[in-house]
Amino acid sequence: MLERLVYISTAAPDLTVPEVRRIVARSQMRNRQLDVTGMLLLVRSEFLQVLEGQRDMLDEVVGYISRSPRHQDIRLIERQPITTRRFDGWHMGLLVTDALADQVEALKARRTSVDAVIEAMRANADLM
Ligand SMILES: Cc1cc2nc3c(=O)[nH]c(=O)nc-3n(C[C@H](O)[C@H](O)[C@H](O)COP(=O)(O)O)c2cc1C
């Protein structure tokens, strides 16, 4: 079954953007093998990641993610079945921008939907 998982976490205090790029480069190889797609957003010192894939593959990737010392305080926002991917072909996009800070805050407060945030991520990714 195709599923989507969204979480928010806090970046390790000493984590740099070049290190985040290296994490994403390594992740892309594994995600490609597991056919996991999605996008990682870094807003200030918080990550928001959208992951799409078959249930078992998502479980495997979530295992790697939750064991990484590069972030902490991982909060699951949503995990649910989906019919279509929103990040088809992106074996992990990376978006580093504070422009989405308000959307992330709104999602944490449940004042906006995951779908609205995904659309904002896609719109910003297209600008880059
Ligand atoms: C914010 C964040 C996002 C990650 N996303 C993925 C991912 O999409 N796919 C994956 O296989 N691993 C992902 N990981 C896990 C690590 O990249 C991976 O396990 C790493 O190569 C282990 O090395 P490390 O201990 O240096 O972090 C992520 C880790 C972090 C911190």
pLDDT of residue 125: 86
Supply φ then ψ for residue 29, to 5 degrees: -65, -45
Each residue's pLDDT expressed in tens, for the chain with a length of 128 residues: 999 999 999 999 999 999 999 999 999 999 999 999 999 999 999 999 999 999 999 999 999 999 999 999 999 999 999 999 999 999 999 999 999 999 999 999 999 999 999 999 999 987 65
Q: Is 86 in the pocket of ligand 1 (CB under 6 A)?
A: no
Could you give the angle at which helices 55-67 and 17-34 cross, rounded to 10 degrees?
150
pLDDT of residue 5: 98
pLDDT of residue 110: 96
- Which two tokens mark 105? 């805050």
pLDDT of residue 27: 97
Cα(23) to centroid of ligand 1, in Å?
6
- Which two tokens mark 122? 């896609």
pLDDT of residue 128: 59
Q: What is the 8-class DSSP label of residue 15?
A: -
Between the CA atoms of 83, 33, 56 and 36, what dihedral angle is there, to the nearest 10 degrees? -40
pTM (two decimals): 0.96
Q: Is 23 in the pocket of ligand 1 (CB under 6 A)?
A: yes
pLDDT of residue 127: 66
pLDDT of residue 106: 97
